[in-house]
Structure formats: structure tokens, C-alpha cells
Amino acid sequence: MSHIPLRIGMVGYGFMGRAHSNGYSQANHFFNLKYKPVLQAVAARNAEKARAFADQWGYQDIETDWRKLVERKDIDAIDICTPNNLHKEIALAAAANGKMILCEKPLSMNTAEGEEMCQAVEKAGVANTVWYNYRRIPAVTMAKQLIDEGKLGRIFHYRAMFLQDWTISEDVPQGGTATWRLDAQAAGSGVTGDLLAHCIDTAIWLNGSITGVTAMTETFVKERMHAETGKKQEVKIDDAAAFLARFQNGSLATFESTRYARGHKALYTLEINGEKASIKWDLHDLHRLSFFDHRDEGRLRGWKSIHVSDGDQPYMKNWWVPGLQIGYEHSFVHQVVDFLKSLETGQPCSPTFRDALETQKVCDAVLESAKSGAWVGIS
């Protein structure tokens, strides 16, 4: 089968640069697609590091200025894998040059920036998506199917947590390539934009819009050395955040996220309780979906642990044989697959910038409510 090439220009080469590059490399091996990514060029300020990354992942070329990359005629799509403070500028330039855009989450530093980015891609008419990868873990996608089929009935509760423990030590710096997530100037916010954003994206996708929140945040370590200046500076990100929310469908929610939950490295969990059934999912056991169905015969009622690895379960017929599971990296492969399919069908690849803006609005409302102590409504 001859493919239509989709020439990728990636900006940045960190953890997400690797996850996305792996997605581009794997997609066509496992899925039959009309389009095929070509790793055309990677842009990063340090030429030596960019070259090493390009060699390792198979990019043909490098640029040391992302502006040159977005202007290149031999690039179809720009993948933004930089710290959050660069998302907007790169996206606006890419859209102005008619490039499709795949942007790492969160969409932007805040709602105002996100709105500008939405307008830019909509005006340019370019395909766009945001890498909220957890939607594309087969067990999570299956939860969406079950909810949409009405298997849970009316939803009462949504509960999500994303727990980590990697910033407890005061010696962890802020800023720089490895720890920019702790620097408000680069990240915009702390766990709210980094971790809660994942929980919010999945929640809106599974359970509809959030209409209001009341939140609290805390910064446990008040000062950290800045990796670039070597000076101790005030920490302006939220280390932990928790909020209550109401959904448009009448259900209630609790969300919690922290980088101070000793013992937890990346524990994303969610639970949804409906009138007829409930669902639970846990990133540390990501191929399993727990399902409780009240319609089961009384004696046999109980939580089922479904090993999502069979051909009739989302994405799985393209992988191994039933019973053999896949992992975290495959959620990025699936995002590439869905983006390539969207080019084939002409349908948007959700979450688009506009979809991701809704998550951004909730993040902003969480931060605002934590400051004011009041409920904040979301329009």
C-alpha cells in the first residue's frame, strides 16, 4: 500500500519528544492507515543534543531555531513538545504557515492564551489536536463506550486522583530542562496544569461539562534554587490541589492531585458511580477495567476485573493475541493513529484545541477558586 507522507517537524526532545516519536514510528506497523508519518526534522536550541536525538529516533534533519522549522516547506505538521510557555508562540507561527499542529498538554498557560490558539488554528483551517493520551488507553476508551451505551445509567459521582511524590525534597530545583514543571514562568501552574489537567480532560470526555468548582491548593516548599540562575527563588506553582466540582449532568465530583504523596509515582485513578453500574480504573494496572453491574443476579453481584486485551475491545485487535497486554506508550501510538485517521475522514481529532480549551477553563477556575475561596462558575 502506498502511503501519503505526513512530514513531522518536532519542537523539543524531552520525555514527551520520545513518547510522541515512538508513536509516529509504531503507528503504521500495527494499523492500516492511508497517511504515514515521516520524521522530517527536530528543532532544539542545542545542536549537539538535537543531532543526538535525531540520530536515535530517525529524524532526517535538525534546526536550532523553531521559527525556521515552522517556515520549512517540507514540513506538514508541527509537534509542540516544549515547556508550556512556548506553546502559544509556536502554535500561532505554525498556524500562520499553514501547518497542522499536535500540541503537548496542557494546551496553554491559561484560557486567554488558549483562546488565541483556537482562533489561530480555526482561521488557518489546519488540523489540530492536544496530546491528552490517557483517553486512548483501551480500558479508558472502553469506559467511554460503556457510559455512552447507557450501561451506567444516570451518573451520580465522578472521582479522580493523580498522585506523585517526586518533589518532596527541598533540593529539587525549579526551572531548567529537567525541572521546568516547577517553575511558574515555564509551566503556568503546578499540578493543576500538569496532572489535574489529565483528570479533567478524561472527566469531561466521559461525563460531560463541568459547571463550577471550589478548590484549595498548597505550595509546601516555598523556595527552590533555580537551575538556570543558581539562585534561590520563590516557588510560585501549586504543589498540591484538590477541588469539588459539579457537572452539567447533575453529578458531583472530587479531584485531587499532588507531588507529595510519598510512595506514589504516577497513580492516576478514576471512579464513576452510576444508577445501574460503576466503573473504576487505575493507571498502575492500566489494562484492567473494574466494572460493577447491579443488574447481575444478586448472588453473583460483585466487582469484575476485565482484562482489556481482546480483539473486540478498543484498539486491541491491532496488537497481539487476546490476553497479551499493552502499556503506557501505546496511548501515544493510538493518538497518532487517530490523528492520521482524522486526516483520512476529514473529521476533527479530539481533543482539538477547542476541546482542550474547556479543560484549560476548568484549570483556571481551580486556581482562581483556590485564591478567592469562592465557588467559581465555568461558562
User: Can you name the residues that pair with 158 across neighbouring β-strands?
Assistant: 253, 272
Report which residue's Cβ sits closest to ligand SOE.
194
By CB under 6 A, residue 194 contacts ligand SOE: yes
Nearest residue (CB) to ligand SOE, 84 versus 309: 84
Contacting residues for 10 by C-beta, under 8 A, at least 6 apart: 17, 20, 21, 39, 41, 42, 43, 59, 78, 79, 81
Which residue, 194 or 358, has its beta carbon nearer to ligand SOE? 194
Least CB distance to ligand SOE at residue 275 (A): 32
Decide: is 47 part of the binding site for ligand SOE (CB under 6 A). Answer: no
CB nearer ligand SOE, residue 194 or residue 238: 194
* CB 198, min distance to ligand SOE, A: 6
By CB under 6 A, the count of residues binding ligand SOE is: 5
Cβ at position 266, least distance to ligand SOE in Å: 5
Site string for ligand SOE, 148-187 (x = CB under 6 A): ----------------x----------------x------
Q: Which is nearer to ligand SOE, 183 or 194 (CB)?
A: 194
Q: 251 — phi, psi (to 5°)?
A: -80, 160
Match 520563590 to its residue by C-alpha cell.
234
The CB-of-269 to ligand SOE minimum distance in angstroms stands at: 13
Report which secondary-structure segment, H or E, holds 206.
Answer: helix 197-207
Q: Let me know: does 353 contact 46? Beta carbons within 8 Å.
A: no
What order of strands is seen across the sheet that includes strand 100-104?
61-63, 35-43, 4-11, 77-80, 100-104, 128-131
- CA separation for the pair 190, 321 (Å, rounded): 40
Contact 14, 81 (CB under 8 A): yes
The residue (of 114 and 274) whose beta carbon lies closer to ligand SOE is: 114
What cell was used for 211?
Answer: 459547571
How many C-beta neighbours within 10 Å does residue 3 have?
13
Binding mask 110-149 for ligand SOE (x = CB under 6 A): ----------------------------------------
Residue 266 in contact with ligand SOE, rule: CB under 6 A: yes
Provide the binding-site residues for ligand SOE, judged by CB under 6 A. 164, 181, 194, 198, 266
